[in-house]
Homo-oligomer: A and B are copies of this chain.
Amino acid sequence: MLEELKPDAVTICVPNRFHCPITLDALNGGCHVMCEKPPAITPKEAWEMERTAREKGLLLTYGFHFRHSEQVAFLKKKIEQGELGEIYHTRVQWNRRRGIPGWGNFTNRNMQGGGPLIDIGAHMLDVALYLLDYPEISWVTATASDRIGRKGGRGLMGSWDGERFTVEDGLFGFIRFANGTSLQLETAFAINQKEENLRNVQLYGDKLGASVFPLETFGEESGELVNREYPFLQMRDWHLDCDRNFVDACLGKTELLVTGKQGTYIQRLIGALYRACASGEPEKF
């Protein structure tokens, strides 16, 4: 197809395992590429993708569409203006109570590279890292479990086969940044909690704390406590904004919001978290 049509730009939506080879083909075919998240299955692949795009002078971006949300875009501005002060701790959660997908390859490590961390946790990690300006990581640690998944069962997103369940069902991590601050992570396809779907990023700054979904901030004004909520005027279509950013960047009208370099970074973080689960030790980044 690439040879026949010679498109200027392509969008890639396939199982994670094929993200890298197809992206490389497209880049080598001269196309700008927008690839679903996660970038790939291994950090090495992501790096290869980033390097190739750079060498070819082509655009490479990933579909981390939560960055385009009103909440994240608005909070990013506040952080850049220093309103939160120093952010010294971040909590990241995306836990589904019984949300193991009953379709696709989501429970197949070979095809997807992992479970909730690489599928849904990656989105919230990207939101947090973007808001923190992709800071340098010292080391990470995590534990994981597949106890609910490997039993098989029926859930809010269909039934799944325990025998073919080869990914984690929950992962709990800790990231220490080089500047001495930390991030706690929870992500699960299935966990015994009250909420059907718990998805949030919380930032603790010394001037202001923020909860992103929905956006609220907590701090002081003239020595008195203040809570702020933001009833947004209009909700945008985040996926569309994601696509538009790619198209506009292809047309030279704007910068990419999500860069290939950030893709490599988050892929390395995912890799390190999985390594830490396996080794039982903290992993240097």
Contacts and interface: CB of A to CB of B under 8 A. Distances in A.
Interface of A: 70, 74, 77-78, 85-86, 88-89, 91, 97-98, 138-139, 141-143, 145, 147-148, 151, 153-156, 170, 172, 174, 176, 180-182, 184, 186, 191-194, 196, 202, 204-209, 211, 216-219, 221-234, 280-282
Nearest to A188: B204
Contact of A204 (B153, B191, B223, B282): B191
A204 B209 contact: no
Given A143-B176, A176-B280, A148 B206 contact: yes
B232 A225 contact: yes
Contact of A222 (B77, B89, B223): B77
Contact of A88 (B70, B147, B207, B209): B147
Contacts of A151: 206
B216 A194 contact: yes
Given A147-B85, A230-B225, A218 B206 contact: no
Main secondary structure of the interface of A (DSSP, over half): strand
B204 A138 contact: no
B233 A208 contact: no
A193 B181 contact: no
A233 B228 contact: no
Given A154-B223, A227-B229, A227-B230, 7 more contacts: A89-B172, A141-B176, A142-B182, A155-B233, A174-B174, A193-B204, A221-B230
Contacts of A74: 222, 224
A74 B86 CA distance: 26
Contacts of A153: 223
Given A204-B170, A282-B282, A224 B232 contact: yes
A156 B148 CA distance: 38
Nearest to A277: B180
Nearest to A89: B172
A180 B144 CA distance: 8
Instruction: Give 6 closest A-B pairs by Cβ, nearest first.
Output: A192-B209, A147-B206, A174-B174, A143-B182, A88-B145, A282-B282
